[in-house]
Structure 1
C-alpha cells in the first residue's frame, strides 16, 4: 500500500492541451530558475495560469497554445480583453497575499503547433 503523501504529491495527468501547455510552461520556467508560487488562480475577475517568483519580482504568466494558425497564432490570441482580466486578477492576487508593494511583471508562454520546447516562445514583460 502506498503512503498517502505520495498520492497527494503526485502530479495530475493533463486532461487537455491547455493543461499540457501549462505543465510544459511550468517545467520550462522552473528550469530557467524561477520559483513556482501558484497555478490556476481563479477569482471573479478572471484566471491567472501560473504565478512565479523571479528573484523579488512576481511573474504572472499567461499560457497560450494554438494547434494551427487558422484563427491566428498563439501570440495573436492575446487580446486586450484577456490582458485586462489578467492584470486585474493579478492586482487582486497581490492584494489578497499582501504583496501590493512587491514588483511584478506579466509574461506569456506561447506554443504554436506542438507543446514542446522547440515550439515554445517566452515573452517577458509582454504587457
Structure 2
C-alpha cells in the first residue's frame, strides 16, 4: 500500500477513534523495532492502535505474531520514554473504504 493511502487510512482511523470517545495522544511513534500508528486514551486506558486497510484482501492477516512482538517492544520503549503509568492494550483498527472495525486487546 502506498504511503498516501496509509496516511489516509490513519486519518480516517483517528476520526473514528475520536467519535468512539478516544483522545489521540500521538501518531506515528517510531522506535528501532517499528512504528506505533496511533496512541489513544479512553477511560484511563492507553490504546496502542495498529491500523490496517485493504479492499481486495483481509488486512488483519498482515498483523503476524512477529509484528505483534515488534509492537510490544515498541510499546515498552514508548511507555518508558513518555513515563506513562496507565493500563494499556494493543488494538487493531481495520479500515475498509469508509468502514472501520476496531478489534480491541489483540494478543497471540
TM-score (norm 2): 0.91
Aligned partner of 1:126 in structure 2 is 106
Task: Tell me the CA shift for residue 111 of structure 1.
Answer: 2.1
Which consecutive aligned stretches of 4+ in structure 1 deviate over 6 angstroms post-superposition? none
Give CA-to-partner distance per residue, 1:31-89, whole Å, 9 cap, x none.
111111000000111110000011211110000012312xxx11111111111111110
Instruction: State the distance in 1 between where 2:41 and 2:72 align.
Output: 16
Instruction: State the distance in 2 between where 1:66 and 1:80 align.
Output: 19
Of the two, which has the highest radius of gyration? 1
- 2:79 equivalent among 83, 94, 97: 94
Instruction: State the distance in 2 between where 1:17 and 1:67 align.
Output: 12
| Structure 1 vs Structure 2 CA RMSD | 1.2
Instruction: State the distance in 2 between where 1:60 and 1:50 align.
Output: 6
Q: Which runs of 5+ in 2 are unaligned?
A: none
- 1:106 equivalent among 84, 90, 97: 90
Show the 5 A alignment for 1:19-98.
19-69=7-57, 73-98=58-83
TM-score (norm 1): 0.78
Alignment: residue pair count:
105
Contact 2:47 2:89 in 1 (8 A): yes
